[in-house]
């Protein structure tokens, strides 16, 4: 039976054995992966079967935009050497382009065909970590030069330059949400427990503690929300003021961590 690139990629990920040896073992085993592993081990070519999912601590973020739509794809790999290669960058951009033009179904179809080949080409596990297709009246996006951070911002008004400024700001300042009231109650409760313990050690009375914590909560919410953060290019105004009446309706920030 014909051996597919996907079968070869899967067995390589599990064994770490070269392409030709893996292909030969699969052919001898008539495509049965477990039998192929036995064949490789008997030949001393696979001393230990590796986990099917090797650690993917590197990768790159890719963005494609057209009109009111922007696509972002985060592609994972194992090493920075591969992440910086021209072929990996071309693959990532192609994935983002397919998501933009053909949606999630188109991305999946292209990825199912191309990624197994990429695994063989690079000799590493390659996978899609995240993908987002965003639509808004006004779009802005930003990808950091090392492709480790990518941001999409959609506005209900304003212009693309302001949306792009907001995206660049978000890349630098990492706001968790758009507006202060979107900060989760769980996050606030956790912070309040820390503040209370700190204030108790300082000997603050209970009524004073509550007033101080109310102020700390307001500051915490504002510091972690895009609209209320001081704009990086002009800290004298918030991002919301910089946008001049336009509101952020879509916000996606992806980073390699």
Which has the higher per-residue pLDDT, 173 or 4? 173
Following DSSP, what letter does each residue of 161-220 receive, concatenated? Answer: HHHHHHHHHHHHH--SBSSGGGS-HHHHHHHHHHHHHHHHHTT--HHHHHHHHHHHHHHH
Q: Looking at the domain covering 54-135, what would its CATH class be?
A: alpha beta
Q: CB atoms < 10 A from the CB of 101, how many?
A: 14
79-138 pLDDT, tens digit per residue, is 999 999 999 999 999 999 999 999 999 999 999 888 888 887 888 888 899 999 999 999
Average pLDDT in the 58-81 region?
Answer: 96
Domain assignments of the chain as residue spans, ordered by start: 5-42, 54-135, 184-223
6-54 pLDDT, tens digit per residue, is 888 888 777 777 788 888 889 998 988 888 888 887 776 654 455 444 6
Provide the pLDDT for residue 3.
87
Provide the pLDDT for residue 117.
83
Burial of 176 (0-12, 13-18, 19+ CB in 10 A): middle
Query: How distant is the alpha carbon of residue 209 from its chain centre?
Result: 39
Please state, in angstroms and as integers, the Cα–Cα distance from residue 250 to each residue in 35, 141, 168, 192, following that order: 50, 11, 14, 29
Provide the pLDDT for residue 44.
67
Instruction: Give the C-alpha separation, 75 to 86, whole Å.
Output: 14
201-237 pLDDT, tens digit per residue, is 888 788 888 899 899 999 999 999 999 999 999 999 9
Contacts of 180 (CB under 8 A, 6+ apart): 218, 221, 222, 224, 225, 227, 228
Provide the pLDDT for residue 48.
43
Note if the pTM is more than 0.85: no
């Amino acid at each position: 039976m014909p051996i597919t690139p996907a079968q070869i990629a899967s067995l390589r990920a599990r064994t770490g054995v070269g392409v030709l040896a893996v292909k030969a073992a699969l052919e001898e085993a008539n495509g049965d992966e477990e039998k192929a592993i036995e064949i490789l081990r008997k030949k001393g070519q696979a001393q230990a079967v590796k986990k099917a999912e090797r650690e993917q601590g590197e990768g790159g973020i890719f963005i494609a935009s057209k009109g009111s739509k922007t696509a972002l794809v985060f592609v994972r790999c194992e090493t920075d050497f591969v992440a910086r290669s021209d072929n990996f960058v071309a693959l990532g951009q192609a994935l983002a382009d397919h998501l933009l033009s053909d949606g999630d179904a188109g991305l999946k179809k292209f990825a199912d065909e191309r990624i197994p080949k990429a695994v063989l080409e690079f000799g590493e596990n390659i996978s899609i970590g995240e993908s987002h297709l965003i639509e808004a009246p006004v779009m802005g996006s930003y990808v950091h030069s090392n492709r480790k951070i990518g941001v999409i911002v959609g506005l209900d008004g304003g212009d693309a330059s302001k949306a792009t400024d907001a995206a660049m700001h978000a890349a630098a300042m990492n706001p968790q949400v758009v507006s202060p009231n979107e900060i989760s109650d769980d996050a606030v409760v956790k912070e309040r427990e820390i503040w209370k313990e700190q204030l108790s050690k300082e000997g603050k009375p209970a009524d004073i503690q509550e007033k101080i914590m109310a102020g700390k909560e307001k500051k915490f919410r504002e510091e972690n929300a895009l609209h209320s953060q001081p704009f990086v290019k002009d800290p004298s105004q918030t991002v919301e003021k910089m946008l001049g009446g336009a509101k952020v309706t879509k916000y996606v920030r992806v980073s390699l961590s």
